[in-house]
Structure 1
Amino acid sequence: IRTGVTAIIPHQGNIFKKKVPAAIYIGNGFGKLAGYSQVKELGNIETPVILTNTMSIAPALDALITYTLQQEGNQNIASVNGVVGETNDGGLNDIRARVVTAEDVLEAIENAKDGPVKEGGVGAGTGTICFGFKGGIGTSSRVLPPSLGGYTVGVLVQSNYGGVLEIAGVPVGKLLGQFDFKKDIDSYADGSCMMVVVTDAPLSSRNLERVAKRAMMGLAKTGGIASNGSGDYVIAMSVNDGNLIDESKPFYEPKVLHNSSMSSLFLATIEATEEALINSLFMSGTTTGYKGRTVKQLPVHEVVKEIKKAKR
């Protein structure tokens, strides 16, 4: 068994009572992400966001419903829109065993905390494969200068996709001899990638969708191709305290950035997504899993050598 759960908590309060502006962008829709239609319709998220494997969407949703119903002040709630993303870790994990339980998900939610995030083959990234190397969880962030608002853009990814790996513009995958379509056009390149973008910039759901689209550009910069069988999804949220959605009040009066202020956030998203995806590879180790299959770690020292050689 090589699988797990990763939980992202938008804020420390009652998320259902104070929803966060949000958007979801579908880069390629070969996936089973839950909760999309209501986020698209209403432009907010009302639960923690869970990442896991493809066959564990159901227990994750069950856990989100239980968690939400048990929150103080939610005694009369009769509808919960849980958001659960997934990738298929069946290459290293006995995914048909469906070992993830609602209790596992609740434990992940309860143990989620602020601060540095563990990266690599942990949580929902335990069994993922990326560009033929061991994938996993990766994070990165950018902070805009004070002249542009000083806002932070943070990205967390679950990498499980294919293509031709590029790092810093160097075709590392080709140089290492490990890339999709190496033998023929029908060779395996499918997989998925979940990307979660969180910012404290005060953004509307419309502009959060624009931000989410830029995360796909970060994926493309790593050599990802959003292949036919890949579920590539971006969840974007604004956790600005002044813009949380309190439906107990008669009006929602957010203060949001103008469209003309978005470009710096777009760049920050592209850079942070690219870096988070690369970090997911650098921080993962060689892993042996289902049926004895071994997936090797990206050879960091060889990568550095190839990049230095190419930059001369």
Structure 2
Amino acid sequence: MTKPRARDLGLPFPGTTGPLNAITDVPGVAVGFCTLTDPSRKMRTGVTAILPRPSTTPQPVWAGQYSLNGNGEMTGTHWINDAGYFLGPILITNTHGVGAAHLGATRWMINHYAEYFAKEHAWAMPVVAETYDGVLNDINALHVQPDHAIAALNARNPGPVAEGSTGGGNGMICYEFKGGTGTASRQIELGGQGYTVAALVQANHGIRPWLTILGEPVGQIMTEDSLYSGEMGSIIVILATDAPLSGLALRQLAKRAAIGIGRGGTPGGNNSGDIFLAFSTANEGPMPQFAPPVSARQELNIELLDHLYLAAVQSIEEAVVNALVAGEDVATVKPEGLLCRALDGERLKVIFGQA
């Protein structure tokens, strides 16, 4: 049974959402999961896949990246920072699954863009990010394999996005509650044109006393069953938009993810990998080596970016809470014998006067 999302509980998040209130509100974006759960093997992990474009012809995806705190990994970012684009999918998994997911994504790209890889001196550099799930999953057992990345990509769809313990979010903890996958979107109008900004997070960050939801000190009210004495997680934020932006503008958009997660209370702990990527599906076109010597691309007036910044911050704030309210109680495997509690949605309703 699907649990209510944060808005269903009556939480008054600002802004206008897309129809799905998900990253798939951005046209063309699809999300898939491979979720791996087997308590007998201490296995609770998986892979989340995001495909920005549905085309089987390779096209650049314009992007920008920013790290608030670099205690983590997101592959392919050196090229994104230099070139302002990437090709192919984005995958999110656990810390020790990066290599396997990268290999799986590479195999998938070779097959998905078969003609391109057969005829050209092509190379695959997928984006693979991670957060640590070793409290709820035997991360050293290396459960994630290349086929799981391929399965997540093959399961992609442009519809509603499952939250909580799905895909790479399966073994994640957020503010010492069960965390994981969350998503949200915002719709805005600029210059007579409508645009969507949306976020997907893998939320595995924060300690209980920090947790603030829409200004309420939830973590100081719900103090039971805490797990940590200090920060030991991370958060990956993926922002998507159909607004036409340059790589530089997208990097500026990615920076605002720091404010988005900060609204939930985290200061960006030293042991947390807070790593963000923003991409735009606008300006479809061929790979640069096949483009004419001088190419024209549309770009939104930089004076209008504040509207996108606010939409991004609001989407990320809500996505993190969506990940939290989708959680369920899960036993820890390291150390054994503890319980990672779900955030109690009914108590949350009381805090916000909705019960």
Q: TM-score range by the shorter chain?
A: over 0.9
- State the distance in 2 between where 1:174 and 1:255 align: 47
Matched, 1:86 2:130: yes
Instruction: Report what 2:17 is aligned to.
Output: none
Instruction: Report what 2:241 is aligned to.
Output: 199
Q: Residue 201 of structure 2 aligns to a residue in which SS?
A: strand
- TM-score, scaled to structure 1: 0.92
- State the distance in 1 between where 2:322 and 2:184 align: 8
Q: Which runs of 4+ in 1 moved over 6 A?
A: 179-182
- State the distance in 2 between where 1:157 and 1:226 align: 15
Instruction: Report what 1:174 is aligned to.
Output: 220
Instruction: Report what 1:151 is aligned to.
Output: 195
85, 89, 95: which is aligned to 1:44? Answer: 85
Instruction: Report what 2:350 is aligned to.
Output: 305
Instruction: Report what 2:318 is aligned to.
Output: 275
Point out where structure 1 has 5 or more consecutive residues left out of the alignment.
Answer: none
Amino acid at match of 1:23: G
Amino acid at match of 1:190: M
Quote the RMSD (CA, aligned, Å).
1.9
Q: Deviations over 1:152-201 (max 9, x none)?
A: 0111000000141111111110122269899xxxx222210000000000
Q: Deviations over 1:52-106 (max 9, x none)?
A: 0000000111112111222232213342211100000001000000011101100
18, 21, 25: which is aligned to 2:66? Answer: 25
- State the distance in 1 between where 2:285 and 2:277 align: 17
**Identity of matched residues, %:** 34
User: Structure 1 residues 193, 118: CA separation in 2 closer, same or farther (over 3 Å shift)?
Assistant: same
- TM-score, scaled to structure 2: 0.81
Instruction: Answer whether contact 2:190 2:304 (CA < 8 A) is retained.
Output: no
- State the distance in 2 between where 1:181 and 1:137 align: 20
- State the distance in 2 between where 1:87 and 1:103 align: 20
Amino acid at match of 1:266: Y
Q: Residue 295 of structure 2 aligns to a residue in which SS?
A: coil
Amino acid at match of 2:62: P
User: Structure 1 residues 36, 176: CA separation in 2 closer, same or farther (over 3 Å shift)?
Assistant: same
Q: Where do residues 253-292 of structure 1 align in structure 2 (5 Å cutoff)?
A: 253-290=296-333, 291-292=336-337
Q: Give the Å deviation of 1:40.
A: 0.8
Q: Deviations over 1:265-285 (max 9, x none)?
A: 000000000000010001111
Q: Where do residues 223-238 of structure 1 align in structure 2 (5 Å cutoff)?
A: 223-238=265-280
How many pairs were matched up? 303
